Chains A and B, each alone.
Chain A
Amino acid sequence: MAHQAHAYHMVDPSPWPLTGAVAALLVTSGTAIWFHFNSTILMTLGTMLLLLTMYQWWRDIIREGTFQGHHTPPVQKGLRYGMILFITSEVFFFLGFFWAFYHSSLAPTPDLGGCWPPAGITTLDPFEVPLLNTAVLLASGVTVTWAHHSIMEGDRKPAIQSLALTILLGFYFTFLQGLEYFEAPFTIADGVYGSTFFVATGFHGLHVIIGSTFLAVCLLRQIQYHFTSEHHFGFEAAAWYWHFVDVVWLFLYISIYWWGS
């Protein structure tokens, strides 16, 4: 049997990068076709392929790391760099939408009434549901930290409980935001206010859902004894992502909900 004289992971050939690329093509072009030709088949097919790709690719990574021992310290370090770089790219993604918001709100044009919020827009009270949402996400940051320390100290049950509590708080946030979206007296089609509001908070909400899913996967893995007190990078990555989501919300709350009201 061949052995490697280094600590790095030479990954086996895998079809998932290709299926992922095909899925990306189908989702994007499918969405354009939906908009113009009223057919959803390509977009749906692309989404299913994307979900299958994600499931199988990440399942394989778990197999390689947790069961086959390929995630040595140098490999883990590389994964850490990767997650940090990814989150950094997401920071820039949101930066763009904040740029758009401030561009429009710092110098409101005459057609809006020369004021911000624009004439005719009834904004949401920042001290009602948005404040509750802030408390919910901040609390979830505390609970995920409790979970991390529990994992590091080998406390299985508290780790499971605190992680589950974190996910529940995430669901509660999503539920509250959904309610807000439905109750809002303005829509995405209400000029630049509506566009900046729903695109920025909408992408944030999508990231909350992604983060909650990531944490849920970690919960299942913790229950199945994947994590050790020394090696649990999947959880750390999920926790970093979750803190990032929390920080983005804080900026959204201060800028759009509070200052922009």
Chain B
Amino acid sequence: MAALGRLSQALLRSSLTQSRRQLSASAHDHGEQSARTWKILTFVVALPGVAVCMLNMYLKEQSHSHEQPEFVPYSHLRIRSKRFPWGDGNKSLFHNPHVNALPDGYEGHDE
């Protein structure tokens, strides 16, 4: 709780003092460097990090099997105590027939 108060003080202070610091930025150069620093961080660390993760995804996708998960009629899954307020009330909002089985099994298949 006290830490939260201190954090808010720091936020208030830092934003206000930063603007005050900027007023004297013309006196020395370090103020102008900050944007450049974050620009460098963006293109050297942040965006390459995203690119690496995208590459990782692409490579993992290739070695994936796209099998349908086995259907076991567990009673603790596929709960339908109240129907969904759309369609036939049996499919979730992001229903994907390939990977989401209905309570009786996958659609279009006979178990």
Interface residue ranges, A against B (CB under 8 Å) = 34-35, 38, 73, 77, 80-81, 84, 88, 111-113, 118-122, 125, 127-129, 131-132, 134-136, 138-139, 142-143, 145-146, 149-150, 152-153, 155, 158, 162, 165, 169, 181-191, 194, 229-231, 233, 236, 240
B34 near A120 with CB under 8 A, answer: no
Min CB distance A90 to B, Å, is 13
A158 near B39 with CB under 8 A, answer: yes
Residues of B within 8 A of A186 (CB): 77, 100
Bound Cα distance from A233 to B12, whole angstroms: 11
B69 near A122 with CB under 8 A, answer: yes
Bound Cα distance from A146 to B18, whole angstroms: 15
Min CB distance A159 to B, Å, is 8
CB < 8 Å: which of B50, B78, B93, B100 contacts A136?
A: B50
Size bin of chain B's contact surface: 35 or more
Q: State whether the Cβ of B96 lies closer than 8 Å to any Cβ in chain A.
A: yes
A150 near B95 with CB under 8 A, answer: no
Known pairs A162-B38, A184-B99. 8 more at Cβ < 8 A? A34-B85, A84-B8, A120-B77, A131-B53, A158-B39, A184-B100, A229-B22, A230-B19
Residues of B within 8 A of A125 (CB): 60
- B51-79: which residues lie under 8 A (CB-CB) from chain A? 52-54, 56-57, 60, 69, 72, 74-79
Bound Cα distance from A246 to B46, whole angstroms: 14
B42 near A146 with CB under 8 A, answer: yes
B79 near A132 with CB under 8 A, answer: no
Bound Cα distance from A201 to B80, whole angstroms: 21
Chain B residue at minimal CB-CB distance from A125: B60
Bound Cα distance from A125 to B19, whole angstroms: 44
Residues of A within 8 A of B34 (CB): 149, 152-153
Q: State whether the Cβ of B15 lies closer than 8 Å to any Cβ in chain A.
A: yes
Which of A38, A146, A181, A185 is the most central at the interface, judged by chain B CB atoms within 10 Å of its CB? A146
Residues of B within 8 A of A127 (CB): 56, 60
CB < 8 Å: which of B8, B12, B49, B75 contacts A135?
A: B49
Min CB distance B32 to A, Å, is 6
Bitwise interface map of B from 2 to 22 toward A, beta carbon under 8 Å scored 1, else 0: 001000100110011011001
Min CB distance B68 to A, Å, is 9
Bound Cα distance from A83 to B47, whole angstroms: 29
Chain A residue at minimal CB-CB distance from B38: A146
A182 near B85 with CB under 8 A, answer: no
Chain A residue at minimal CB-CB distance from B54: A132
Residues of A within 8 A of B41 (CB): 142, 146
- A142-B46 contact in complex given A128-B57, A152-B22, A158-B35, C-beta closer than 8 Å: yes
Residues of B within 8 A of A81 (CB): 8, 12
B23 near A230 with CB under 8 A, answer: yes
Residues of B within 8 A of A136 (CB): 50, 53
Chain B residue at minimal CB-CB distance from A240: B11
B94 near A132 with CB under 8 A, answer: no
